[in-house]
Structure 1
């Protein structure tokens, strides 16, 4: 019997495993090896690992976890979960049945790429979602923002710390007159029309070709496609969720516990606002600590 099974072995899951391993708790981490940021050439903002490829950081983390004898890392997928607190059962795709007193869900989300030629191929290079992750490297250059809803207005204000050159692409979405007036006051042009294709020259140059026949060329394009959890285990468990402008996330309390006692969650699966390696690692560590403390006699 494991103390904890962690489903998802990216930054949140491995951070949880580290805390539990250091507390000498028996842990199994199930991971499919498909982290959300695998498309990015470098990860930024993580203290001690700034500007390193994210897959290299994860590989180093796994090597470090190898010195903890109670941590088992498994390349595999969890197919189902049953049971209750102190007696959970996880069935893997390989047919292995694992028992645990607690569970941590950290299987993350997948971004749903729009059906636009060139968009998916540019994701993580010339199209990115996070200024904290990639803004410094392209500061002062010409940015584009694909409008995704009212939340994009805050992005406009946020981007000002990195660049004074910004173009908004409406992409067929309605932008309220008062918001358009504010954008005009800020000197930010709005280009109407749907994006029909993305082309690019080099890693940080995007050309958006519109259905109006015009095109917009920028050095970097910021976009926020909707995402969804990368697995459906929470659905079968009936866990409470929160619907956000960008997708569904799991609802957790201040101790990272979900609506089902004994099941904790961390990382992008619970974080709709500022997903990053740093926040995922912090949340994972907290989930591991709170799961451990919940098992004290």
Structure 2
């Protein structure tokens, strides 16, 4: 029975960044990847140093090709069905009934985005509806922009967006802006629209249809999706979760270890804010930390 030093569950940007450090540390690594990236809806990935404007699939494919050059790395296409601690090892079972064992687990399964139930919103996710102005704002060329509220926390997003274009905050019956909110929004020239949103339409632009029949055409609409771990594996292993204003992620220490010894989490799964750049850096940190744990945890105390 082959025992890997580390099994990385999730082969997107964070998982590959962690696997790269471990492979270069000459450890035997298995990456199990279901092939579903969070940014698969976006045509281009912006704000990534050295990769600005490339299609996300191209960035991922090039990274994977480089990883496969390491003979001590095994890439497995598939989904992890279960993972558990068995003595000093972790046992992982894949969707095609492969059983793998490892000394450490690195979880990089990402999070799933949950949008308000508004007709047309999901269909335009990553096209004219976005979550991150740093990733998509510049390309909107200072056109009219909107923020669709999901909670009071959306005020923070609305205060950011005017740097990329004139902004309207659609409160959509989620909350009533306080007097302080109104003062802050006015200081940033953000218009407040209290009429409920009934539908999002348009192909080259985001057309917001209001309940009273009025249409508001925008270059882009921003919304903070609510997130939760995309895979139940972290729950199954007993990892503690943390909560941010926009959802849940796996709680880790400064070296990316979860509350379960030997289990690490990185990327969007293991942090409150997500981006490709953060995922790569977070994965690299986790890779370093897992490698160090394999060395120092085995030394005499």
TM-score by length of 1: 0.95
With 166-175 and 3-12 compared, the bigger mean Cα shift is at 166-175
Cα deviation for residue 185 of structure 1 reads: 4.2
Residues 136-180 of structure 1: per-residue CA shift (max 9 Å, x gap): 1114211101122232222233223323x1111111111333112
Tell me how large the CA RMSD over aligned residues is.
1.4
Separation in structure 1 between the aligned mates of residue 95 and residue 203 of structure 2, nearest angstrom? 41
TM-score by length of 2: 0.93
State the match for 2:197 in structure 1. 195
The answer on whether the counterparts of 1:25 and 1:70 sit within 8 Å (CA) in structure 2 is yes
Residues 206-229 of structure 1: per-residue CA shift (max 9 Å, x gap): 001122222221111001121211
State the match for 1:110 in structure 2. 112
The answer on whether the counterparts of 1:87 and 1:101 sit within 8 Å (CA) in structure 2 is yes
| SS in structure 2 of the partner of residue 160 of structure 1 | helix
With 114-123 and 19-28 compared, the bigger mean Cα shift is at 114-123
What does residue range 64-79 of structure 1 map to in structure 2 within 5 Å?
A: 64-79=66-81
Residues 73-104 of structure 1: per-residue CA shift (max 9 Å, x gap): 11111111111584110011111110000000
State the match for 1:182 in structure 2. 184
Separation in structure 1 between the aligned mates of residue 42 and residue 211 of structure 2, nearest angstrom? 28
What does residue range 71-220 of structure 1 map to in structure 2 within 5 Å?
A: 71-83=73-85, 86-163=88-165, 165-178=166-179, 179-202=181-204, 205-220=205-220
Structure 1: tracts of 5 or more residues without a match: none
Separation in structure 2 between the aligned mates of residue 186 and residue 293 of structure 1, nearest angstrom? 47
Cα deviation for residue 249 of structure 1 reads: 0.5
Residues 42-99 of structure 1: per-residue CA shift (max 9 Å, x gap): 0011111110000110011111111100111111111111115841100111111100
Matched, 1:269 2:269: yes
The answer on whether the counterparts of 2:152 and 2:175 sit within 8 Å (CA) in structure 1 is no
Separation in structure 2 between the aligned mates of residue 175 and residue 187 of structure 1, nearest angstrom? 18
The answer on whether the counterparts of 1:143 and 1:220 sit within 8 Å (CA) in structure 2 is yes
Residues 221-271 of structure 1: per-residue CA shift (max 9 Å, x gap): 001121211111111122111122211100000000000111000011122
The answer on whether the counterparts of 1:85 and 1:261 sit within 8 Å (CA) in structure 2 is no
The answer on whether the counterparts of 1:143 and 1:167 sit within 8 Å (CA) in structure 2 is yes
The answer on whether the counterparts of 1:81 and 1:90 sit within 8 Å (CA) in structure 2 is yes
The answer on whether the counterparts of 2:159 and 2:184 sit within 8 Å (CA) in structure 1 is no
Structure 2: tracts of 5 or more residues without a match: none
The answer on whether the counterparts of 1:85 and 1:102 sit within 8 Å (CA) in structure 2 is no
| SS in structure 1 of the partner of residue 123 of structure 2 | helix
The answer on whether the counterparts of 2:159 and 2:185 sit within 8 Å (CA) in structure 1 is no
Matched, 1:4 2:6: yes
State the match for 2:63 in structure 1. 61
| SS in structure 1 of the partner of residue 184 of structure 2 | helix
Residues 18-48 of structure 1: per-residue CA shift (max 9 Å, x gap): 1111111111111111100000000011111
Matched, 1:15 2:17: yes
Runs of 4+ in 1 over 6 A off after TM superposition: none
| SS in structure 1 of the partner of residue 20 of structure 2 | helix
**Change in CA separation of 1:113 and 1:147 when aligned onto 2, cut-off 3 Å:** closer
Separation in structure 1 between the aligned mates of residue 257 and residue 161 of structure 2, nearest angstrom? 33
